[in-house]
């Protein structure tokens, strides 16, 4: 059984999909969860669902691509909660296209939302963790950051960048017992993947390269992430955990 001793977590992208499942899983284990998403409705709905189920949650709409907004939100949350012990950088977007057709905006939006956001949140929330000599940071990357993917140069670069960031910060924070790990999902059924998961031809093509021959569930990713945030995961840092049905062996 996993334990979480009076912990508070920030989960970005908690309004839908994988982030929502992570927020709900942590809350079921007694963690107070600050649910962050771009729209207030989306994180508000997750926080309300957690509260209705007997958990503790707060919603906070923040555009994670906006460094100043992240700095302000982090400062306010650190003033409001005695500690923030867990950070899950999960918010992400795709803007797919082959390189010659990829606009500067599509490159920059994907890098800023997926990668630079992790730099900003970690910079603001990790310092108190290092002072407290306890912390858990989990970055939700992707198999695209490990294998690459035609049509996703921006996304793969951002997700690979998250892996480099994870490993560097794991080394920086290790002496303070703050662990930093990455989780790399394959194809998980969420809004991000509905376009092809629900199209028989496209999904059959994808499943050819997935040894387990099915798409993953958000709860699969949430269970692994919760372990990495738990008291029990204190000797695990700097690692990348694929959760992809065996795709990137
Ligand atoms: P999703 O269903 O599209 O949900 C994305 C969440 O991120 C939403 O809550 C969204 O907020 C939030 N978000 C996006 N841009 C934001 C911004 N600028 N500021 C704040 N929040 C923002 O995505 P998902 O499939 O759950 O993916 C979650 C993470 O897993 C992403 O990092 C993704 O790259 C990664 N991943 C997913 C898969 C997959 O197969 N699904 C595979 C590998 C990796 P709103 O609700 O307000 O829109």
DSSP one-letter string for 60-101: EE--TT-HHHHHHHHHHHHHHSS---EEEE-------B-GGG
Q: Which residues are catalytic?
A: 155
Average of per-residue pLDDT across 136-145: 98
228 in ligand 1 pocket by Cβ < 6 Å? no
User: Ligand 1 pocket check: which of 10, 11, 18 to mutate, most ligand atoms within 8 Å of Cβ?
Assistant: 18
pTM above 0.85, yes or no: yes
Q: What are the CA-CA distances from residue 162 to residues 69, 90, 145, 193 (Å)?
A: 20, 11, 8, 20
Percent of the chain with pLDDT over 90: 98
Residue 90 scores a pLDDT above 90: yes
Residue 196 scores a pLDDT above 90: no
Residue 28 scores a pLDDT above 90: yes
pLDDT score at 38? 98
User: Ligand 1 pocket check: which of 91, 117, 163, 193 to mutate, most ligand atoms within 8 Å of Cβ?
Assistant: 91
- Among 61-70, 81-90, 110-119, 188-197, the least confident range: 188-197
38 in ligand 1 pocket by Cβ < 6 Å? yes
Mean pLDDT of the chain, nearest integer: 98
pLDDT score at 83? 95
pLDDT score at 156? 98
Residue 231 scores a pLDDT above 90: yes
Average of per-residue pLDDT across 78-104: 98
**Which region holds residue 55: left if phi is over 0, alpha if psi is between -120 and 50, else beta?**
beta
Atom of ligand 1 nearest to the CA of 21: 26
19 in ligand 1 pocket by Cβ < 6 Å? yes
Tell how far the Cα of 19 is from the centroid of ligand 1, in angstroms: 7
Residue 182 scores a pLDDT above 90: yes
């Amino acid at each position: 059984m996993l334990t979480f001793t009076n912990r508070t977590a920030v989960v970005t992208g908690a309004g839908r999909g994988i982030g929502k499942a992570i927020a709900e899983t942590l809350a079921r284990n007694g963690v107070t969860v600050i649910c962050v998403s771009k729209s207030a409705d989306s994180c508000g709905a997750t926080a309300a669902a957690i509260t209705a189920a007997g958990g503790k949650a707060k919603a906070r709409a923040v555009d994670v691509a906006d460094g100043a907004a992240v700095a302000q939100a982090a400062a306010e949350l650190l003033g409001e909660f005695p500690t923030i012990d867990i950070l899950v950088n999960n918010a992400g977007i795709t803007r797919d296209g082959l390189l010659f057709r990829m606009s500067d905006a599509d490159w920059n939006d994907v890098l800023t939302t997926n990668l630079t956001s992790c730099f900003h949140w970690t910079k603001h929330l990790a310092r108190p963790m290092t002072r407290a000599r306890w912390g858990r940071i989990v970055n939700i990357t992707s198999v695209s950051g490990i294998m690459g993917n035609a049509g996703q140069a921006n996304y793969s670069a951002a997700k690979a960048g998250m892996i480099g960031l994870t490993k560097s910060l794991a080394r920086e924070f290790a002496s303070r017992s703050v662990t930093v790990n990455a989780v790399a999902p394959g194809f998980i059924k969420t809004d991000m993947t509905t376009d092809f998961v629900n199209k028989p031809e496209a999904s059959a093509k994808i499943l050819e390269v997935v040894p387990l021959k099915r798409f993953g569930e958000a709860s699969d990713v949430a269970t692994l992430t919760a372990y990495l945030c738990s008291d029990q995961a204190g000797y695990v840092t700097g690692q990348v955990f694929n959760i992809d049905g065996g795709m990137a062996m």
